[in-house]
Amino acid sequence: EADIYQTPRYLVIGTGKKITLECSQTMGHDKMYWYQQDPGMELHLIHYSYGVNSTEKGDLSSESTVSRIRTEHFPLTLESARPSHTSQYLCASSEGVTSGVYNEQFFGPGTRLTVL
Amino acid sequence: GEDVEQSLFLSVREGDSSVINCTYTDSSSTYLYWYKQEPGAGLQLLTYIFSNMDMKQDQRLTVLLNKKDKHLSLRIADTQTGDSAIYFCAETLPGSARQLTFGSGTQLTVLP
C-alpha cells in the first residue's frame, strides 16, 4: 500500500477563500506531482517537483501554486478559490529516476474540492 | 506528439473477458503502464510492459503491445464486479520531464 496522504478528502468552500491542499509521502521519493481530474475522468498535470526547492508548471495552466520545502511535503495553494476550481485534485510521487526509464507513480486518495 | 487515446466506456457481463484498448502516437515510448482507479480513490499501478516486449501476463491480466500500430491493450479474464473502475494507460517517454503521459481513461462497468 502506498504511503501517500492527502487532506482534506473533501472540501466545500465559498468563492474568494484561500485554501491549501496537503500532500505528504513517507517513501522518501524525490519527485512529486499534482494532477487535476475532470469530471469526465481525464488527468491533467498541473505541477511537479524534482526535489526540495524545485517546482515546475505542468501541461494545464493553473492558478494554484505549490511549494516544496521538505522532501515529504508538497502542498498546493489557491489564493482565491472560484467555482471553476471545482475538481478532484490528485497528488502522486515517484523515485527520482532519470527520464525514460521505469517510473511507477504512487497516488494519494485525492481531494474533492467544491467551490460555491 | 504525446497523445494517448482510449475509448471512454466499456460494459461487460460478469465472467466474460474485458479488453481495454489504448493507442499512442510516440514510438519512442520506453515503458507503458495500466493504472486502475476505483471510485473515490487515487490511481494504482496494475501492470506495465517494457517496449521491447509483445506480451505480458500476470494472473487474470494480459497486456499486448503492438509497436508497429502503436497499440496497447489490457485483457481481464473472468471479469468480476470488483473490476469495475476507470482504467488509464500511460507511457514513459525518454527525455520527458513529466515522466508519465496518461490516456483519457476507460470506465469499465461489469454487469451481474
Contact in structure between B26 and B1 (CB atoms under 8 Å): yes
Exposure string over A34-61, b if 16+ CB within 10 A, otherwise e: bbbbeeebbbbbbbbbeeeeebeebeee
Which chain A residues are closer than 8 Å to B22 by Cβ?
none
How far apart are the two ends of chain B, measured CA to CA in Å? 40
> What's the rounded Cα separation, in Å, for the pair B2 and B26?
6
Q: Considering only CB atoms, which chain A residues are within 8 Å of B88?
A: 43
On whether the CB atoms of residues B22 and B71 are closer than 8 A, the answer is: yes
Model confidence at B35, in pLDDT bands (50, 70, 90)?
A: very high
Indicate whether A98 pLDDT > 80. no
Sort strands B9-13 and B106-111 into parallel, antiparallel or unpaired: parallel
> Are B31 and A42 within 8 A, CB to CB?
no
- Asked whether the beta carbons of residue B45 and residue A104 sit closer than 8 angstroms, the reply is yes
More confident residue, B91 or A70: A70
For A85, phi and psi rounded to 5 degrees? -85, -5
Q: Once rounded to an integer, what is the mean pLDDT over residues A43-54?
A: 92
| CA distances in angstroms from A13 to A6, A20, A86, A102, listed in the order given | 17, 12, 10, 39
Give the H or E element holding residue A55: strand A54-57
* pLDDT digits 0-9 by tens, B10-28: 999 999 999 999 998 877 7
Q: What is the pLDDT of residue B1?
A: 41
